[in-house]
């Protein structure tokens, strides 16, 4: 049976790409069972080795162990996020305790830790290069940070916490996705669609048709929810949609409130067991910021500088809304509508005006072309490589010398089996095994508007920047160099990983770049220069508000993960208090971000959401070098590739940044870029 399982054999495809045509949901469970069994044997062999422990037979051997388990896990969990099914979810629930048990089998293995510690204690006598030194450091710390030094009851307790935590995080994500999918609004009276652009109505009509309904169907997925909130003139319907989105998993069958309490308390308990005061202390030790005092100071400093601008912007939109007939207070379901109306009047700019110039095909070609212009690489369709869904396209990335860099899977459109948002991930990272280099398989996942029977997929300008953002992550993965997968690509400090992605967004505001590809999908007409001027002129529109919004997420994240005593209170009240310093819009009872905040409760950004603003500070400073030397300067791009993109986590992030920029980042660069200066 195992021989027939495509997850347990070589695919025979170019580069060893996964054969998604053959892989079925039912293949994963037996593959996990086999892979975990193999990985345990490999770990036990290292731990019981009779030879004196050294870097090769212990540390490097550990890095290379579990290759089959890594393969199966990377495929399963990434597909689960992008194209899940009831069978996949059942498998996730069954396999999560198994993976936790295996993790503990490694981290709690006293003989194995003893060998690693012996090598680590002798590290000064070893002639390791920087990559070897970092692998040894990370390996030793991973044991220390995962309970290897615990004894007796504490060791047992740690294992129980890890198992409970893994299941709680899994359940949280399942609830958030189910809660989002559970709501839709079916409109059959066309008069209730006032204000909505044709492209929004067309998409909603096709969504209704696909579900066997008449009229127009709106959902909480981004391509439906976002435009509805910006353009629907019917205030009651806007409120209904906003309340539905902001009460995802607040109550009912998919209630996440108790799970939030459970997760933060388990994280605190784990941190204290490991002699950290809080979960934030535990996490930040490994980041550029190093400690919670630095992060809280960073956030509070930005809040203090940002709120005067954010409040002014709110007042501006509220006054504008009252001038348009709004009675009473400007509410959260009003703000997107009136701010979009204001933007249209002030800058004569809106999505309906711009979207025809940003067909998905032209944006894709332009993003790929930008990578070629900066770095000399080529990206072409990959022949004979199947994808995991009919909507997914596969490309081959090659370097300027023609050598293979990576496979790139592009997953563009929303579906009920996919979680919301946009992200980059890898089915396989970069490594060297037996002298043979393995290049990465990278996946970019989006939720763009699907093409309709009348139009191709047309992107809003914010979706163009999202495309560039995620592609920056892809370059970080594709340019990776190194022997060890755990140190290559995006395996860097959490508050450094967003630098390459956020840097790429800047080119969306370069006129020469926009003019090179923005063409009307029907006429082929070049985007008018006045539109480009308006895009650039409106770049910092509501920048104070949007920064305050991001800071509120960071404040909430840190509040949850800086608790030093178990939390038994009201989740919604705790959240409301945490975000108050950065609140711009009025608070609405019974709503919550925390119950649908996948980034921090199910997505690896716990005590790390601040990193978006931290990295944005880095990228604002980094892009200033491109501005000095020319935004398409190949030498500057080559330096960024050599010093940042190719290095992964081989060296300290601060060292890498200084090597590229020649100095530490200038903290005022972000405020200046956003125009938040007097």
In a domain, 230, yes or no: yes
Q: Which of 88, 177, 656, 130 is nearest to 388 (CA)?
A: 88
Angstrom distance (rounded) from CA 377 to CA 19: 26
Q: What total of structural domains would you count in the chain?
A: 4
pLDDT tens profile 268-296: 999 999 999 999 999 999 999 999 999 99
In a domain, 172, yes or no: no
Same domain, 208 and 312: no
Last residue of a domain, one of 502, 517, 539: 539
Same domain, 529 and 547: no
Q: How confident is the model at residue 2 (pLDDT cuts 50, 70, 90)?
A: very low
Q: Among residues 60, 163, 470, 505, which one is catalytic?
A: 470
pLDDT tens profile 386-402: 999 999 999 999 999 99
Query: Which structural domain range is residue 197 located in?
Result: 184-248
In a domain, 297, yes or no: yes
In a domain, 155, yes or no: no
Last residue of a domain, one of 125, 149, 173: 149
Same domain, 433 and 470: yes
Same domain, 49 and 124: yes
pLDDT tens profile 127-180: 999 999 999 999 999 999 999 999 999 999 999 999 999 999 999 999 999 999
Angstrom distance (rounded) from CA 616 to CA 614: 5
The pLDDT score that the predictor gives to residue 3 is 58
Q: How many residues does the structure list for the chain?
A: 678
In a domain, 349, yes or no: no
Same domain, 651 and 571: yes
Same domain, 549 and 535: no
- CATH number of the domain residue 415 falls in: 1.10.1370.40
- CATH number of the domain residue 309 falls in: 1.10.1370.10
Query: Mean pLDDT across the stretch 362-384?
Result: 98
Same domain, 373 and 504: yes
Contact 38, 14 (CB under 8 A): no
Same domain, 314 and 391: no
Query: Mean pLDDT across the stretch 531-537?
Result: 96
Q: Where does 580-610 have alpha helices with state H?
A: 598-601
133 is catalytic: no
Model confidence, pTM: 0.91
Percent of the chain with pLDDT over 90: 97
Distances (CA, A) of 45 to 15, 109, 112, 368: 29, 12, 10, 45
Q: How confident is the model at residue 1 (pLDDT cuts 50, 70, 90)?
A: very low
The pLDDT score that the predictor gives to residue 420 is 87
In a domain, 390, yes or no: yes
Angstrom distance (rounded) from CA 265 to CA 161: 10
Same domain, 562 and 671: yes
In a domain, 380, yes or no: yes
Angstrom distance (rounded) from CA 423 to CA 30: 28
Last residue of a domain, one of 99, 125, 149: 149
Same domain, 82 and 43: yes
Q: How many CB atoms lie within 10 A of CB 336?
A: 19
Whether residue 189 is predicted with pLDDT greater than 60 in this model: the reply is: yes
In a domain, 336, yes or no: no
Contact 172, 596 (CB under 8 A): no
Same domain, 523 and 658: no
Same domain, 562 and 639: yes
The pLDDT score that the predictor gives to residue 117 is 97
Mean pLDDT computed over every residue of the chain: 96
């Amino acid at each position: 049976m195992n021989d027939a399982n495509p997850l347990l054999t070589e695919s025979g495809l170019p580069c060893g790409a996964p054969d998604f045509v053959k892989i079925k949901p039912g293949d994963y469970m037996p593959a996990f069972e086999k892979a975990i069994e193999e990985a345990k044997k490999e770990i036990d062999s290292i731990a019981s080795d009779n030879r004196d422990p050294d870097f090769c037979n212990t540390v490097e051997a550990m890095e290379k162990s579990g290759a089959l388990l890594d393969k199966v896990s990377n495929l399963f969990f990434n597909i689960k996020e992008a194209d899940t099914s009831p069978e996949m979810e059942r498998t996730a629930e069954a396999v999560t305790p198994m993976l936790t048990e295996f993790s503990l089998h490694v981290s709690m293995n006293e003989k194995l830790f003893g060998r690693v510690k012996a090598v680590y204690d002798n590290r000064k006598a070893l002639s390791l290069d920087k990559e070897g030194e970092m692998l040894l450091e990370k390996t030793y710390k991973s044991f220390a940070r995962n309970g290897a030094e615990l004894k007796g009851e504490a060791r047992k307790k740690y294992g129980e916490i890890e198992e409970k935590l893994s299941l709680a995080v899994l359940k949280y994500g399942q609830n958030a996705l189910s809660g989002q999918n559970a709501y839709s609004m079916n409109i059959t009276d066309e008069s209730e669609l006032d204000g909505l652009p044709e492209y929004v109505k067309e998409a909603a009509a096709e969504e209704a048709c696909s579900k066997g309904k008449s009229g127009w169907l709106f959902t909480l997925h981004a391509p439906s929810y976002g435009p509805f909130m910006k353009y629907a003139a019917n205030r009651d319907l806007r409120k209904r949609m906003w309340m539905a989105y902001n009460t995802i998993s607040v109550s009912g069958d998919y209630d996440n409130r108790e799970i939030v309490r459970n997760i933060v308390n388990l994280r605190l308990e784990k941190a204290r067991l490991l002699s950290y005061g809080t979960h934030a202390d535990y996490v930040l030790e490994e980041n550029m910021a190093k400690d919670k005092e630095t992060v809280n100071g960073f956030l509070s400093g930005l809040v203090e500088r940002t709120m005067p601008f954010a409040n002014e912007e709110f007042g501006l939109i509220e006054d504008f809304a009252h001038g348009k007939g709004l009675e009473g207070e400007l509410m959260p379901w009003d703000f997107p509508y009136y701010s979009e109306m204001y933007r249209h009047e002030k800058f004569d700019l809106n999505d309906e005006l711009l979207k025809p110039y940003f067909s998905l095909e032209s944006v894709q070609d332009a993003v790929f072309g930008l990578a070629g212009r900066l770095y000399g690489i080529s990206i072409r369709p990959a022949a004979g490589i199947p994808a995991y869904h009919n909507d997914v396209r596969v490309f081959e990335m090659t370097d300027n010398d023609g050598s293979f860099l990576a496979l790139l899977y592009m997953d563009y459109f929303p579906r009920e089996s996919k979680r919301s948002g946009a992200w980059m991930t890898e089915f396989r990272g970069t490594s060297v095994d037996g002298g043979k280099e393995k290049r990465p398989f990278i996946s970019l996942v989006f939720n763009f508007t699907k093409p309709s029977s009348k139009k191709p997929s047309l992107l809003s300008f914010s979706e163009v920047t999202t495309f560039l953002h995620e592609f920056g992550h892809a370059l970080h993965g594709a340019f990776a160099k190194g022997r060890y997968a755990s140190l290559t690509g995006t395996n860097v400090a959490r508050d450094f990983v967003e630098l390459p992605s956020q840097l790429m967004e800047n080119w969306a505001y370069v006129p020469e770049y926009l003019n090179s590809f923005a063409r009307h999908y029907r006429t082929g007409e070049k985007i008018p220069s006045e539109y480009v001027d308006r895009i650039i002129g409106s770049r910092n529109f509501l920048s104070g508000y949007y920064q305050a919004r991001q800071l509120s997420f960071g404040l909430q994240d840190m509040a949850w993960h800086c608790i030093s005593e178990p939390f038994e209170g009201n989740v919604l009240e705790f959240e409301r208090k945490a975000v108050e310093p950065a609140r711009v819009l009025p608070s609405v009872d019974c709503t919550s971000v925390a119950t649908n905040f996948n980034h921090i409760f199910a997505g690896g950004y716990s005590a790390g959401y601040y990193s978006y603003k931290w990295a944005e500070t880095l990228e604002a400073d980094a892009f200033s070098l491109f501005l000095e030397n020319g935004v398409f300067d190949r030498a500057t791009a080559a330096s960024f590739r050599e010093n940042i993109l190719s290095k992964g986590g081989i060296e300290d992030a601060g060292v890498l940044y200084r090597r590229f920029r020649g100095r530490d980042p200038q903290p005022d660069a972000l405020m200046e870029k956003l125009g938040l200066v007097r």
